[in-house]
């Protein structure tokens, strides 16, 4: 970049940051995410570091941020409430260590404490003679908003310390710093409550926590289930621990909530880096949102001696994870037709970079949710990509509306075959009513051959579409009569590959009945329900003859599923499909007698399986449970004894957590059986 380009860039960044600051702090209506703000800020800071002549007196880097609210009382903090510098990689973390190393005696060794970087907002809690007397927000770092009555509503903030009857010494005056936030479950529950009352949900947990804490009426705060984690002693008029590690133990012993499941102490920077890098995969399993980890020099004296640059202490640094949320424009909403006909609204987005990938499409879940969140085409929306889940639209940024946005229409007809759509009472999904819809047929076959269904190896999505296009197959059953000549007509199929595919198709004829039932694309019949049906009926013919009322008496089968099963078998197209499968030699009945009883250890207990277990297949786990006298059902209720959770669990896990049903992993299940599993 030329000098004038650099100057223009710095100016543009300054202008943008001022605008976003104003929207965030004054209007309380930000239109970009915190991560995006951080990125702009970091770019300006770097530019200014490399070209100090570009630093303008009004640069946002030159002031300590303030989030003061005009009509709350003010308090002066006992010591400046500092912020943190950021690093984004292991190299930057090493560079931080080198920088502070230069300020320390030569070859000085350091210990470090790693803590979560909670994605909440700072509170400073002051205790006099053990009694909570004040709670304040960070404000501008020197002066904060007095939110004492609000802080008193937070159950994890002790009103008196030490909490238990211990005689742990407490200085006469003690100021503690912590972070106020919503636990993920509490935020979800709050939004469910709002939805029940017909109110729009909150989009961003951190902003909602900030709003709740800065309420003028503490009764409003009390309606919002906030949590606070504490991590620092800001001020004490007596001796306090000499290390950060001991500080955290001390705070915990006094009765504060600390993140003891995450915090670690390291003497070696390499080991610390290994922990930090491995941590990102764990972040989603934690009960709170975190946007990184904080690394602190353990020894308080060294930490203090290292001093402060701007508003950041040198002795601590935030290691930030890639942002999981970004804002972008919603260009359109299209409907995606699934194998069971369900129409899933899909967001077409202006491409945006989120946690390491460019996202162009995102899930919108269902049309009710679009209406609930008031998402409109043309909106600036927040997109989230968390872990391996499919990116989804969190909600619109109302403050960015121009008036040109238009509502999303609910579908009247299938976008592929133009058949009318329907919706079951009490269900959110619309679905295409035409079982012969070309998209449904293609999706069904794709699912039928997939690993989680009949597991026909060597037939990908592309080949399925090709076979359909060429008229070589019209349904699942046609797969079983494909010949080598048929396959050789397809691009990419040579002799060897075609032979392999044919033997895989041959092997699929002998799959267990449950696998076949689960592969047919009956609405509501996933692998667990299929397992239940196979165990009850033992043959496809018996299942086909079942009446709706009989189906409903089976534990784990609800009225919708019962209806969908009957409807599926009543359809002539599906009847013909079963006949074709039979003629092709596909197994339509359970061959063996039900497995013999190995023990009664699980007698009287009901289990629900969700996710992929590390070693057992789902039907193996189900068989095992039944062999030991337990029962496997398809959905979680208060009566469920245990939910067995594997990788990538579904909504059954959430349901179990809501209902407080105990969870087990595979090892836990095997332990209950008592190692009887061979």
Catalytic residue among 7, 45, 74, 117: 117
What is the three-class DSSP state of 503? helix
Q: Of the two residues 202 and 288, which places its CB atom closer to ligand IVH in the complex?
A: 288
Q: Of the two residues 182 and 231, which places its CB atom closer to ligand IVH in the complex?
A: 231
Instruction: Choose among 39, 35, 66: nearest CA to 291.
Output: 35
Q: Of the two residues 115 and 145, which places its CB atom closer to ligand IVH in the complex?
A: 115
Tokens standing for residue 143:
């002066």
Cα atoms in the Cβ-side hemisphere of radius 13 Å centred on 111:
14
Q: How far apart are CA 158 and CA 657, in angstroms?
A: 26
Q: How far apart are CA 243 and CA 245, in angstroms?
A: 5
Instruction: Choose among 576, 593, 491, 587: nearest CA to 535.
Output: 593
Q: How far apart are CA 533 and CA 588, in angstroms?
A: 13
Q: Of the two residues 319 and 607, which places its CB atom closer to ligand IVH in the complex?
A: 319
**What does the DSSP assignment read for 530-546?**
HHHHHHHHSBHHHHHH-
What is the three-class DSSP state of 306? helix
What is the three-class DSSP state of 46? helix
617 is catalytic: no
Q: Of the two residues 124 and 625, which places its CB atom closer to ligand IVH in the complex?
A: 124
Q: Of the two residues 234 and 578, which places its CB atom closer to ligand IVH in the complex?
A: 234
Please tell me the total number of residues recorded for the chain in this structure.
678
SS3 string, 54-105, reads HCCCCCHHHCCCCCCCCCCCEEECCCCCCCCEEECCHHHHHHHHHHHHCCCC
Kindly state the smallest distance separating residue 115's Cβ from ligand IVH, in Å.
Answer: 4
Q: For 643, phi and psi rounded to 5 degrees?
A: -110, 125
Residues at the contact surface with ligand IVH, assessed by CB under 6 A = 82-84, 115-118, 122, 179, 231-232, 294, 313, 316, 318
Q: How far apart are CA 363 and CA 373, in angstroms?
A: 14
198: buried, middle or exposed (CB in 10 Å: 19+, 13-18, 0-12)? Answer: exposed
CA 444, chain centre distance (Å): 28
Instruction: Tell me if 108 sits within 8 A of 289, measured CB to CB.
Output: no
Q: Of the two residues 259 and 449, which places its CB atom closer to ligand IVH in the complex?
A: 259
Catalytic residues: 117
């Amino acid at each position: 970049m030329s000098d004038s380009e650099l100057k223009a860039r710095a100016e543009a960044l300054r202008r943008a940051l001022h605008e976003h600051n104003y929207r965030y702090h004054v209007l309380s209506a930000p239109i970009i995410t915190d991560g995006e703000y951080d990125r702009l800020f970091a770019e300006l800071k770097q530019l200014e570091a490399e070209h100090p002549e570009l630093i303008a007196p009004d640069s946002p880097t030159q002031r300590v941020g303030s989030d003061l609210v005009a009509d709350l009382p003010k308090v002066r903090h006992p010591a400046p409430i500092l912020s943190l510098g950021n690093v984004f990689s292991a190299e930057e973390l090493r560079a931080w260590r080198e920088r502070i190393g230069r300020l320390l005696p030569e070859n000085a060794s350091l210990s470090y404490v790693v803590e979560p970087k909670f994605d909440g907002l700072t509170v400073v809690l002051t205790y006099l003679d053990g009694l909570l007397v004040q709670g304040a927000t960070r404000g501008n770092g020197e002066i904060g908003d007095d939110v004492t009555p609000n802080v008193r509503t937070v159950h994890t903030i002790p009103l008196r310390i030490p909490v238990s009857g211990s005689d742990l010494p407490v200085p006469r005056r003690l100021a503690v710093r912590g972070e106020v936030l919503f636990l993920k479950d509490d935020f979800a529950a709050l939004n469910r409550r709002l939805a029940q009352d017909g109110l729009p949900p909150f989009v961003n947990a951190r902003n909602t926590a900030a709003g709740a804490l800065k309420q003028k009426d503490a009764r409003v705060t009390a309606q919002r289930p906030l949590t606070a984690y504490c991590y620092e002693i800001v001020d004490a008029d007596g001796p306090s621990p000499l290390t950060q590690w001991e500080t955290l133990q001390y705070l915990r012993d006094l009765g504060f909530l600390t993140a003891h499941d995450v915090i670690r102490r390291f003497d070696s920077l390499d080991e610390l880096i290994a922990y930090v890098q491995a941590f990102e995969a764990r972040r989603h399993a934690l009960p709170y949102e975190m946007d990184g980890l904080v690394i602190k020099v353990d020894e308080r004296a060294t930490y203090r001696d290292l001093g402060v640059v701007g508003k950041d202490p040198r002795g601590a640094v935030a290691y930030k994870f890639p942002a999981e949320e970004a804002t972008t424009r919603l260009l359109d909403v299209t409907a995606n037709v699934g194998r069971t006909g369900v129409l899933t609204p899909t967001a077409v987005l202006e491409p945006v970079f989120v946690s390491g990938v460019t996202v162009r499409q995102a899930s919108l879940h269902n049309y009710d949710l679009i209406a609930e969140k008031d998402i409109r085409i043309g909106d600036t929306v927040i997109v989230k990509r968390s872990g391996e889940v499919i990116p989804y639209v969190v909600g619109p940024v109302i403050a960015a509306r121009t008036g040109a946005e238009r509502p999303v229409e609910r579908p009247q007809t299938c976008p592929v075959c133009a058949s009318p759509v329907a919706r079951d009472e009490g269900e959110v999904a619309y679905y295409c009513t035409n079982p012969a819809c070309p998209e449904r047929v293609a999706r069904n076959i794709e699912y039928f051959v997939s690993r989680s269904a009949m597991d026909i190896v060597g037939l990908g999505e592309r080949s399925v579409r090709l076979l359909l296009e060429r008229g070589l197959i019209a349904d699942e059953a046609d797969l079983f009569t494909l010949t080598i000549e048929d396959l050789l007509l397809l691009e990419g199929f040579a002799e060897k590959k075609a032979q392999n595919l044919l033997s895989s198709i041959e092997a699929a004829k002998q799959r267990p009945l449950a696998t076949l039932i689960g592969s047919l694309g009956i609405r509501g019949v996933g692998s667990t329900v299929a397992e239940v049906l196979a165990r009850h009926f033992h043959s496809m013919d018996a299942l086909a003859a079942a009446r709706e009322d009989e189906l409903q008496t089976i534990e784990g089968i609800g009225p919708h599923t019962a209806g969908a099963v009957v409807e599926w078998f009543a359809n002539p197209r599906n009847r013909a499909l079963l006949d074709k499968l039979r003629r092709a030699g596909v197994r339509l009945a359970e061959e063996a007698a039900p497995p013999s009883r190995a023990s009664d250890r699980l007698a009287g207990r009901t289990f629900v399986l969700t996710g992929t277990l590390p070693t057992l297949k789902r039907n193996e786990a189900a068989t095992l449970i039944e062999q030991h006298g337990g029962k496997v059902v398809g959905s979680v209720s208060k009566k469920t004894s245990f939910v067995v959770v594997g990788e990538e669990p579904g909504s059954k896990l959430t349901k179990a957590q809501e209902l407080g049903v105990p969870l087990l992993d595979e090892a836990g299940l095997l332990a209950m059986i008592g190692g009887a599993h061979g």
